[in-house]
Amino acid sequence: MSRTIFYAFVPMLVLFVITSSACVFSYLIALSFNDPTILRKLMIRLSQIMLLLSIFPISKWLGLNKVMLGYAPFNTMLKQFGRGFGLSVLILLPAFITLNFLGIHSIDMTKAWTFGWVAKKVGVAFGLAVLIGIVEESVFRGLLLTSLRKYLSAFLAVLLSSIYYAGLHFLDSKSPVSDETLSLNGSFQLLGEAYHNVFAMQEPTAFLALCAVGLFLGVLRLHGEMNLALCIGYHAGWVTLIRMSKSTMSVDLNTPYSFLVSHYDGVIGVLVAGWLLFVLASYWLFSKIIKL
């Protein structure tokens, strides 16, 4: 039990070191530009960059190579990405259809519905989704899951990586920064607020849905070798759909069924969590039957 607890908290220690370093660097940059308004975004972006870069020294320290992390040859990764992207759209589409059927989502007719406008939205959503998918999957289903799996059971490794994945989406602060509050101490206060927002669990249904996403992708990642790009494809497909929904749909949180979504983005929530867990359970059962 003590061994499990130790390895469960090691990623938290690494995360704290990275975010604290990002906090210091962000303060120095904001101070040099004499612009306190950029401090919060700098802390977020630098933390993300440092998390991604941490893959290299940590992998070397743990003796992990790119094959262990799930990276395949480039052409294979492209095929995996395409397959994952397509399947992700098919999997999540029923949830979006249900949200529209229940009146939670409806087409926003105030938008400029032209071909150029839609093409631009799709292009931006897809580009950002691919970037997010590469970064987050490399960190969570690449480095973190592989590292945890080296010391823990597959179940615990997938569960813990999913909890970390969900929690990091809430690692943010909302307090404004002014010239009077711009200081190193103030920067760490922002960081403390960010961690408080993670543990405060203000959006429990969104956290549950993100955990379900993490579980789905974690099981998918461990089901084969060198298939990280498949997870990236799934991730990118879901992010593209969610971003397009936010751009083209209006959300009514006053319907009797609004409990199915969260305030986090108006999409993820109880419905998405339940649907993904159902798909995951069906996939697991089907794989067992095939083996029989």
Residue 128: other Cβ atoms inside 10 A: 14
Please give the model's pTM, rounded to 2 decimal places: 0.93
- pLDDT tens for 119-141 read 999 999 999 999 999 999 999 99
Question: Residue 196: its pLDDT value, please?
Answer: 94
Asked if the model's pLDDT at residue 292 lies above 60, the reply is no
Are the C-beta atoms of residues 145 and 225 closer than 8 Å to each other? no
In 3D space, the residue among 68, 41, 105, 65 whose CA is nearest the CA of residue 252 turns out to be 105
- pLDDT recorded at residue 291: 63
Q: Give the number of C-alpha atoms closer than 13 A to the C-alpha of residue 281, restricted to the C-beta side.
A: 7
Chain-centre distance of CA 174, in angstroms? 19
Instruction: Give pLDDT, residue 178.
Output: 84
pLDDT tens per residue, range 10-47: 999 999 999 999 999 999 999 999 888 899 899 999 99
**Residue 223: band (very low, low, confident or very high) from pLDDT cuts 50, 70, 90:** confident
Q: What is the mean pLDDT of residues 206-234?
A: 94
- Please compute Rg for the chain using Cα positions: 20
Mean pLDDT of 198-221: 93
pLDDT at residue 263, rounded to an integer: 87
Number of alpha helices (DSSP H) and beta strands (DSSP E) in the chain: 12, 2
Question: What φ, ψ does residue 225 adopt, rounded to 5°?
Answer: -105, 150
pLDDT digits (tens, 9 = 90+) for 224-273: 889 999 999 999 999 999 999 999 999 998 899 999 999 888 899 999 99
Residue 286 confidence (pLDDT) above 90: no
Residue 192, pLDDT score: 94
pLDDT digits (tens, 9 = 90+) for 166-199: 999 999 988 888 887 788 998 999 999 999 999 9
How do residues 51-72 score in pLDDT, each as one tens digit?
A: 999 999 999 999 999 999 999 9
- pLDDT, position 118: 92
How far, in Å, CA of 22 to CA of 166, rounded? Answer: 20
pLDDT value at residue 176 = 84
Q: Which domain holds residue 51?
A: 2-291
Q: What is the spatial distance between Cα 274 and Cα 91, in angstroms, rounded to a whole number?
A: 12
Q: What was the pLDDT predicted at 122? A: 94
Number of domains comprising the chain = 1
Mean pLDDT of 280-289: 82
pLDDT at 120: 94
